[in-house]
């Protein structure tokens, strides 16, 4: 399913597109396949997912959580190790806790 020409970011953008009328499982699973295929897939995907989960567009954020769940079920230990790190979990806490939102961002851009 995952095409060599598609980046993790392009798979995720399609899977979480706010104009999607429903969850697009072709792109969700394509993202998972690409995470497993790339050497740095788990690290890159975790950063991309955090950004999407924090989206002010509710539908985009909800679709991102579905992608995260699919990755938890399909991407194995390397992905689990990455999302189990404090950095990732702290970013998720920011979504639900206003007090934490003012702390340092995920990365310096």
pLDDT by residue (tens digit) across 46-63? 999 999 999 999 999 999
Q: Report the CATH number at residue 68.
A: 1.25.40.90
- State the pLDDT at residue 107: 53
Rounded to whole angstroms, the Cα distance separating 91 from 50 reads 7
Looking at the structure of the chain, the number of domains it has is 1
Whether 105 is in a domain gets the answer: no
Whether 53 is in a domain gets the answer: yes
Whether 71 is in a domain gets the answer: yes
Whether 109 is in a domain gets the answer: no
Rounded to whole angstroms, the Cα distance separating 11 from 31 reads 5
Of the candidates 23, 19, 41, 40, the residue with the CA atom closest to the CA atom of residue 32 = 41
- Tokens representing 105 are 């961002």
| Backbone phi, psi, residue 8, to 5° | -55, -45
The parts of the chain modelled with pLDDT lower than 50 are 1-3, 108-109
Tell me how far the alpha carbon of residue 99 is from its chain's centroid: 23
């Amino acid at each position: 399913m995952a095409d060599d020409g598609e980046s993790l970011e392009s798979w995720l953008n399609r899977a979480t597109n706010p104009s999607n009328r429903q969850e697009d499982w072709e792109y969700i699973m394509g993202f998972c396949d690409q995470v497993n295929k790339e050497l740095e897939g788990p690290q890159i995907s975790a950063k991309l997912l955090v950004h999407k989960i924090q989206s002010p567009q509710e539908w985009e954020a909800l679709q991102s959580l579905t992608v995260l769940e699919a990755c938890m079920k399909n991407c194995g230990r390397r992905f689990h190790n990455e999302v189990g790190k404090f950095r990732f979990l702290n970013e998720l806490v920011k979504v639900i806790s206003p007090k934490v939102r003012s702390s340092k961002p995920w990365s310096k851009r």
